[in-house]
A and B are shown apart, each in its own frame.
Chain A
Amino acid sequence: MRLSITGLQVSFGEQRVVRIAELGIAEAEIVGLAGDSGSGKSMTTLAVLGLAHTVGARVSGSIRLDGTELTKLSQREMREVRGSRIAAIFQSPAMAFNPVFRVGSVVHRALRLHGMSRAQAADAAARAMRQVLLSPSLLDRYPSQLSGGQLQRVAIALALALRAEVLLADEPTSALDVTVQAEVLELLRELRDRERMSVLFISHDLAVVAELCDRVAIMADGAIVEQGPTSQVVTAPRSPQAAELLAAVPRLQPGAGR
Chain B
Amino acid sequence: MIEAPSTVPAAGARLPRGQRLRQGLAANPLMVAGGVMSALIVVIALLAPLLAPFPADAGSATHPFMVLRPPSAQHWFGTDNVGRDIYSRVLYGARISPLIAVVVLVLACAIGVPLGVAAGYFGGWLDEAIMRVTDIFLAFPSLLLALALAEVLPPSLITLTIAIAVTWWPWYTRLIRGQAASVAGRPYVESCRALGISRTWIIFRHILPNSLTPLIVQVSLDVGGVILTTSALSFLGLGAQDPTPEWGLMVAEGQNYFTTAWWVVTFPGLAILVTAFAFTLLGDGLRDLLDPKRTFLR
Contact = CB atoms under 8 A, between A and B. Distances in A.
Question: Is A in direct contact with B (CB under 8 Å) within the complex?
Answer: yes
Interface of A: 12, 15, 17, 37, 41-43, 46, 54-56, 90-92, 95-96, 148, 170-171, 174-177, 202
Contacts of B4: 91-92, 171, 174-175
- Best-surrounded residue of B5, B9, B10, B15 (most CB of chain A within 10 A): B9
9 contacts: A12-B14, A43-B9, A56-B298, A95-B6, A171-B7, A174-B7, A175-B4, A177-B1, A202-B7
Nearest to A170: B7
Contact of B7 (A41, A56, A177): A41
B1 A148 contact: yes
Contacts of A12: 14-15
B12 interface: yes
B194 interface: no
B139 interface: no
Interface in B1-39: 1-15
Contacts of B46: none
Contact of A175 (B1, B9, B14): B1
A230 B61 CA distance: 91
Contact of A42 (B8, B15, B297): B8
Contacts of B12: 55-56
Interface residues of B, number: 17
Nearest to B296: A56
B9 A55 contact: yes
A99 to B, nearest CB: 15
Contacts of A56: 11-12, 297-298
- Best-surrounded residue of A37, A55, A176 (most CB of chain B within 10 A): A55
Which A-B residue pairs are the 7 nearest by beta carbons? A56-B297, A42-B7, A92-B6, A91-B7, A171-B7, A174-B4, A55-B9
A17 B14 contact: yes
A95 B8 CA distance: 10
B296 to A, nearest CB: 9
Contact of A170 (B8, B11, B15, B298): B8
A72 B10 CA distance: 25
A7 to B, nearest CB: 22
